[in-house]
Amino acid sequence: ASTDWAHVAADLAPIACDTGERETRRKSRDYYWFSPLLKAEIDDWRADLIATPADLAELETLVAYCVAHRLPITVRGAGTGNYGQCMPRHGGVVVDLTRLDRVLSIGEGTFRAQGGIRMYDLEQELNRTGQELRFFPSTWRSATLGGFIAGGTTGCGAIGHGTLHTPGNVLALKILTAGDTPTLIELTGAEAQAAVHAYGTNGIIVEAELALAPLGRWHDRIYALPDLGAAMDLADRIGRDRTLAKKQLAVVDAAVIPLVRPLAETVPAGSALVLAMIGEDSLASADAAANELGGSVAFARAPGEKTGLVPAIYEMCWNHTTLHAIGRDKSISYLQCGFPADYRPVVLAVAAELGDEMPMHLEFATIDGELVCFGIPLLRFTSAERLAQIHAILRSHGCQVFNPHTYVLENGGMQVADPQQLAFRRTSDPHGLFNPGKMPGWDVPDAA
């Protein structure tokens, strides 16, 4: 039987609900349109009702109601995900979590906050205690903590601290389940990974406890190098030098510069660039390394200094590079891959093979003490067939492909449902109501 959504909204009062055309469309979207394939496939996915609980008690009431009536529940933070993650495949209720936005505690080296808090607001409170987030997505001005944990991976700070999967970063998550009696469950240590990057398919992150870093004085630096090889050499030197403090480390090839307006207006055309945030005491050694490799400082900015045209370095890195490029050229999309440990020859071989079809963009992380090179290259998109060929080319060079052109969790990276996430979902979401259709390994027993 079809659901009477006006009736649902009346039942849920006083929880704020909206069934209007405009709001259900606006809150059912993310940045899925970075992918022409997702744009074509999921553009019309729409919630029937947007609910914005004011606090945890209202959220619990809402989830209990949805379970009782077998209504799909898709959680939304800020809707900055890239793969239609918060878009409701089967309609139903989209829960806007941004009113659960309290910092609960800040200790020495850790904090606990509610899942709907904006990461940038959180950082301001942390900074007042002389501490900072270990890493954050480049979208942190709007992105929420819970949305990052459930939908993201890492970002600015990866070069110091790895990813959300690196042990010691995510310390605990409090999860609201959708069992017959919705329950709050605390997952600690490695257990918490069950809900990390699970797209909200196995529970709602209502609180998160993460590890912190001491507050740094980070200087923005753009180094111009003669070519991609030299830029990788500089990134490698900076990345591996444990005595050199850094928060952000990326490389873009010369072909990216005209596509990113602030770069096009700031740095010399034809150079390959290292985009970095360097600790104040390490600037001299990073600048010297650039000079030794035939490079120079093309842009420098001290903490807090205002420089009109050029955004924060991280707002030209990660998927912000892609955002700028799509803004300039609508035919651009992107790829995501992991390069092997000996990445330099592989990056050069792939760049030579794909040339201007794939302007190169690399991001660096430190994971288990090792320097890891990820690719987020731009792609001059032509067709799904060509995309599949390019993925095959990347794999033939030993790269791991993280396909950003799919809304299916399993198809993005591992190709199979993560056993820990799946096992947790069997108990936390027995009716398959959370974000149904995104994890086909446990697909929709009751919903929709």
- Report the alpha-carbon distance of residue 83 to residue 364 in Å, rounded: 22
Shortest Cβ 192–ligand FAD spacing (Å): 12
Shortest Cβ 375–ligand FAD spacing (Å): 14
For 23, counting Cβ atoms within 10 Å of its Cβ (0-12 exposed, 13-18 middle, 19+ buried), the class is middle
- Interstrand relation of 73-76 and 93-96 (parallel, antiparallel or unpaired): parallel
What dihedral angle (degrees, nearest 10) is formed by the CA atoms of 153, 158, 163, 166?
180
- Report the alpha-carbon distance of residue 107 to residue 210 in Å, rounded: 11
Q: Which residue, among 160, 30, 141, has the nearest Cα to 88 in the 3D structure?
A: 30
Smaller CB separation from ligand FAD, 207 or 233: 207
- Report the alpha-carbon distance of residue 169 to residue 175 in Å, rounded: 17
Smaller CB separation from ligand FAD, 199 or 424: 199
99 residue type, one letter: R
Shortest Cβ 145–ligand FAD spacing (Å): 8
Q: Which residue, among 206, 175, 169, has the nearest Cα to 189 in the 3D structure?
A: 169
CA angle 115, 121, 125 (to 5 degrees): 100
Smaller CB separation from ligand FAD, 131 or 177: 177
- Report the alpha-carbon distance of residue 257 to residue 113 in Å, rounded: 38
Smaller CB separation from ligand FAD, 137 or 162: 137
Smaller CB separation from ligand FAD, 38 or 323: 323
Other Cβ atoms less than 10 A from the Cβ of 26: the count is 13
Smaller CB separation from ligand FAD, 74 or 271: 74
Other Cβ atoms less than 10 A from the Cβ of 401: the count is 19
Shortest Cβ 226–ligand FAD spacing (Å): 28
Which helix (H) or strand (E) is 391 found in, with range? helix 384-396
Other Cβ atoms less than 10 A from the Cβ of 68: the count is 10
Shortest Cβ 124–ligand FAD spacing (Å): 17
Smaller CB separation from ligand FAD, 94 or 212: 94
Smaller CB separation from ligand FAD, 205 or 399: 205
Smaller CB separation from ligand FAD, 199 or 343: 199
Tokens encoding 72: 């799909």
- Interstrand relation of 204-214 and 170-176 (parallel, antiparallel or unpaired): antiparallel
Shortest Cβ 70–ligand FAD spacing (Å): 19
Q: Can you say how many angstroms the Cα of residue 239 is from the centroid of all Cα atoms in its chain?
A: 21
Shortest Cβ 66–ligand FAD spacing (Å): 14
Q: Which residue, among 212, 195, 213, has the nearest Cα to 204 in the 3D structure?
A: 195
Shortest Cβ 396–ligand FAD spacing (Å): 27
Binding site for ligand FAD (CB under 6 A): 30-31, 74-82, 85-86, 97, 115, 137-139, 143-144, 146-148, 150-155, 199-200, 204-205, 318-320, 323, 435
Shortest Cβ 139–ligand FAD spacing (Å): 4
